[in-house]
Chains A and B, each alone.
Chain A
Amino acid sequence: MKNIFKISYLTILLLLGTYQVNAAEKVELLKTDWSFKGLFGKFDRGSLQRGYQVYTEVCSSCHSMKYVSYRNLAEKGGPEFTIDQVKAIAANFDVIDGPNNDGEMFDRPAKLSDKFVKPYENVKAAQAANGGAYPPDMSVLAKARSGGVDYIYSVLLGYEDPPSGITLDDGVYYNKYMYGNNIKMAKPLSDNLIEYSDGTIASEEQMAKDVTTFLMWAAEPHLESRHKMGFKAILYIIILTILVYFSMKKVWSRIESEV
C-alpha cells in the first residue's frame, strides 16, 4: 500500500509539474468566484443573460462566435432565454441565403438554426479593420487560453498606463496580464458602458465577470450536464466499488492462508 501512495504521489507531482509550466510564466491572475466551478458548479442564469448582452453590445462588433447558434441561447444549461426572445434576437441579424430559384443570393433575417452572424466576411477583412490584428473567434476562447476564464477576466480588467520607459505604437495598449503586455484591443469595458436590462449596476467588474461567464458557456455549453452526470457516475462507481470489494474479500477468504 505504501508503494501505491509513493507512485501516485510521484505521478501527481509530475502531472502538476507539467500543468504549472503554463501557469508559472504569467503574473498572478485576478480571481473571482465562478459559480460554474466545483463538483456541483452551475452557470448563474442572470449572469449568462447579462453576459450575452455585453457580448452582443460590446464584443460582437469585432469578435465572431462562429460555432454558436441562436437556438443555443434557449437551450437548457445556457442563458435559457425563451424561444420567443431568441427568435426576436435572431431576427435582428441578416444572413445571406440562396441561391433561390432565379439563381440569386438574397438576404433574410436569421433563424434559430443559424450560427451567430459574423462581424466580418473573413479574416483579412477583420485584420484590415483592426490595424492588422485579428480579433479571435470567441466560441472556444475560454478554453483556448492557459488560465482560462481567470485569464480572460484579468485581461479585461488589466488595462493600465504603460510603466515609464515603455513607449507604445499607435493602436497598441498596455495590459498587465496580456502575454507580452501589448494588446491591440482598446480597453473594451468601462463603468456604465451599457445599461443592463435586468437593472444590475453595470460596473466594470460586473461586466467582465458576466461576459466571461458567457464565454465559458459558449466554449462548454454542456458543462452543467457534465457536472450532473459526473456526480451520478462517480457515486455509481463508488457504490459498485464497495460491493465488488466485499465480494472479493468474501471469495478470497476461501483461501486459508492468503499471502
Chain B
Amino acid sequence: MSNQEYVPKSKFGKWFNDRLPLLTLASHLADYPTPKNLNYWWTFGGILTFCLITQIVTGITLAMHYIAHADMAFESVEHIMRDVNYGWLIRYIHSNGASMFFLAVYIHIFRSLFYGSYKSPREIIWIIGIIIYLLMMASAFMGYVLPWGQMSFWGATVITNLFSAIPFVGEGIVNWLWGGYSVDNPTLTRFFTLHYLIPFLILGLVVLHIWALHVPGNNNPIGIDIKKPSKDTVPFHPYIVLKDGFALLMFMLVFAFFVFYSPNVLGHADNYIEANPMVTPAHIVPEWYLLPFYAILRSVPDKLMGVIAMLSAILILAALPWLDTSKIRSAVFRPLYKQFYWILVADVLILGYVGAMPAEGLYLLIARVATGYYFIHFLMILPILGFKEKTIPVPLSITEPVLGGSPNLATVKKKRV
C-alpha cells in the first residue's frame, strides 16, 4: 500500500521477488500506514496473535505426550506435569493461555464496539472476527475436555446434550456427536482431533482478518477516515511494532503471574478428579469466559429456546454493522451511545457473574433481566440511537483537534492513553 513500488536491492532478491513477491509483502507490512493516534486498546490485535501462536506451539508440544484415551488421558496429563521436562510449564502456559486469550479477545471486541470499528467499510473484518471468536469457544471447550477430569466429562455431557433440544433429530445428533450412547472414548478422540484442527482454521482466518484490515486500514480513536499515508499516519515499523511490543510485555507480566504463581486459580478443582460417569459434581460450571452465555442459556425456562437465545446472543454480533444505524464510528462523539456502551459492559459482566451462581431465586431473576437487556441493546437501542442521537461534531483529521483547538480537544486527549 506504500506509494512507491518496492524494489529489492540485491540481484537474488529481485529474482526471487519477481517469482514470489514475499519481499513486497514484508515491505508492505513494515510500511503499512497506521493512524498515529491509536491508543493501547489497539494493541490487543498483536497480543491476540501472540496468544494464538503460544497456544499452537505449547499445544503441539503437549500433543506429543498426551494420550487421547478415556483410560489414559488423565494419567498422561499427570505424566506431563511430573515427568516430562518442563511439562508443568508447558501445560500451565497452555491452560492459562486459554484464559489470557479470551481476556484479550474480549478487550479486542469491546474496543471495536466502543470505537465503531465494525462499521462500513470494515464489516468483513468484523464478521471474520466473530467466526474466529466462535471457533475459539469451540476449541477452548474441547480443550477443556481433554484432561478427562470431572468437569471435562460433565461439561462435555451438558454442552453436547444441548443439541438434543433440536426437535425430532436432536437425540440422533447427540448420539452422532458422542459416537455412542454417552460421552466416552470416541467422544474424547474426536474432540482431541478437532481441538488440534481448529487452531489452524483460526490461523487461516486470522490471515484473512488482517488482509481485510489492510484494505481500508485501521480505524482510530476518533473514528474518521484518514488519508494514507499522510501526516495522520505512521509506518507500522518501528512505531506500532514498538508500541505493540511494549503492551505485549505488560500483558505477558500478567500472564506470567498466573502461570507461575496461581496456575490453577482460573480452573475448577473438580477437574483434578478423574472423570467418573457414576458421580455428578455438585455444580457443573463452565470456564469463566463462557459464563455470560451460560447465564443466557439458563435464563430461558425452555431448553430449545435457551439454546436459541444463547446462539443468537453471539450471532447477533455478526449483524451489528447493520443494527447500528449511526454514521459516526467513535463513541467519543456519541454522548448517548457512550453511556449505553458502559451499561452493556456492566450487563455482560453481570451475566458472567450470575452464570457462575446457581440458577435460582434472585440470581435467576437478575440473569433474565440482564439477558433481556442484552438483546434490547442490540435490537432496539442501537438502531434507534442512530437516528435520535445528537452527536458531537467530528474533526476533519487527526491533527486538526490538536492544532486547530477544536471543541473536542479535551475528550480526544482523554482517550489518549
Q: Determine chain B's interface SS by DSSP, over half rule.
A: helix
Contact A10 B349 (CB under 8 A): yes
Q: Give A204-252 interface residues, CB cut-off 8 Å to B.
A: 219-222, 226-227, 229-231, 233-234, 237-238, 240-241, 244-245, 247-248, 251-252
Contact B288 A18 (CB under 8 A): yes
**Distance between Cα atoms of A226 and B93 in the complex (Å):** 12
Contact A255 B242 (CB under 8 A): no
Residues of chain A within 8 A of B245, CB atoms compared: 244, 248
**Distance between Cα atoms of A256 and B238 in the complex (Å):** 16
Residues of chain A within 8 A of B356, CB atoms compared: 17-18, 21
Nearest A residue to B252 by beta-carbon distance? A237
A95 interface residue (CB < 8 Å to B)? no
**Distance between Cα atoms of A117 and B412 in the complex (Å):** 68
Contact A143 B269 (CB under 8 A): yes
A11 interface residue (CB < 8 Å to B)? yes
Contact A259 B238 (CB under 8 A): no
**Distance between Cα atoms of A220 and B402 in the complex (Å):** 56
Contact A238 B253 (CB under 8 A): yes
Contact B257 A14 (CB under 8 A): no
Residues of chain B within 8 A of A247, CB atoms compared: 242
Nearest B residue to A68 by beta-carbon distance? B82
Residue among B291, B401, B412 with the highest chain A CB neighbour number at 10 A: B291
Nearest CB on B from A127, distance (A): 12
B11 interface residue (CB < 8 Å to A)? no
Residues of chain A within 8 A of B291, CB atoms compared: 18
Contact B265 A7 (CB under 8 A): no
Contact A259 B37 (CB under 8 A): yes
Contact A241 B270 (CB under 8 A): no
Q: Mark B343-374, 1 if CB is under 8 A from A, else 0.
A: 00110010011001100000000000000000
Residues of chain B within 8 A of A257, CB atoms compared: 399, 402-403
Contact A255 B253 (CB under 8 A): no
Contact B246 A248 (CB under 8 A): yes
Q: Mark B171-193, 1 if CB is under 8 A from A, else 0.
A: 00000000000000000000000
Contact A226 B246 (CB under 8 A): no
| In-complex Cβ contact of A241 among B103, B249, B257 (8 A) | B249
B250 interface residue (CB < 8 Å to A)? yes
Nearest B residue to A137 by beta-carbon distance? B274
Nearest CB on B from A236, distance (A): 9
**Distance between Cα atoms of A11 and B106 in the complex (Å):** 10
Contact A11 B103 (CB under 8 A): yes
Residues of chain B within 8 A of A139, CB atoms compared: 78
**Distance between Cα atoms of A222 and B268 in the complex (Å):** 20
Contact A259 B398 (CB under 8 A): yes
| In-complex Cβ contact of B40 among A4, A11, A39, A136 (8 A) | A4
**Distance between Cα atoms of A221 and B283 in the complex (Å):** 29
B50 interface residue (CB < 8 Å to A)? no
**Distance between Cα atoms of A1 and B78 in the complex (Å):** 42
Contact A229 B260 (CB under 8 A): yes
Query: Given A15-B288, A221-B82, A229-B89, A259 and B256 touching (CB < 8 A)?
Result: no
Contact B253 A259 (CB under 8 A): no
| In-complex Cβ contact of A226 among B89, B234, B352, B402 (8 A) | B89
Contact B246 A245 (CB under 8 A): yes
Residues of chain A within 8 A of B403, CB atoms compared: 257
Q: Give B227-276 interface residues, CB cut-off 8 Å to A.
A: 234, 238-239, 242-243, 245-246, 249-250, 252-253, 256-257, 259-261, 263-266, 268-270, 272-273
Contact B399 A230 (CB under 8 A): no
Contact B78 A251 (CB under 8 A): no
**Distance between Cα atoms of A135 and B260 in the complex (Å):** 31
Residues of chain B within 8 A of A145, CB atoms compared: 269
Nearest CB on B from A181, distance (A): 14
Residues of chain A within 8 A of B239, CB atoms compared: 251-252, 255
B282 interface residue (CB < 8 Å to A)? yes
- Contact surface of A with B, Cβ cutoff 8 Å: 1-4, 7, 10-11, 13-15, 17-19, 21-22, 39, 67-68, 72, 136, 139-140, 143-148, 179, 219-222, 226-227, 229-231, 233-234, 237-238, 240-241, 244-245, 247-248, 251-252, 255, 257-259
Nearest 6 interchain pairs by C-beta: A230-B260, A144-B272, A259-B37, A248-B242, A241-B249, A146-B269
- Contact surface of B with A, Cβ cutoff 8 Å: 36-37, 40-41, 75, 78-79, 81-82, 88-89, 92, 103, 107, 110, 234, 238-239, 242-243, 245-246, 249-250, 252-253, 256-257, 259-261, 263-266, 268-270, 272-273, 282-283, 285, 288, 291, 345-346, 349, 352-353, 356-357, 398-399, 401-403, 412, 414-417
Instruction: Please name 10 further chain A to chain B contacts, defined as beta carbons within 8 Å, in addition to the given A18-B285, A147-B269, A259-B37, sorted by A numbering.
Output: A17-B352, A18-B291, A139-B78, A222-B82, A226-B260, A230-B261, A233-B256, A237-B253, A241-B253, A257-B399
18 A-B Cβ contacts within 8 A?
Answer: A3-B415, A14-B349, A18-B288, A39-B261, A143-B272, A144-B273, A226-B260, A231-B260, A234-B260, A237-B249, A244-B246, A245-B246, A247-B242, A248-B242, A248-B246, A257-B403, A259-B398, A259-B416
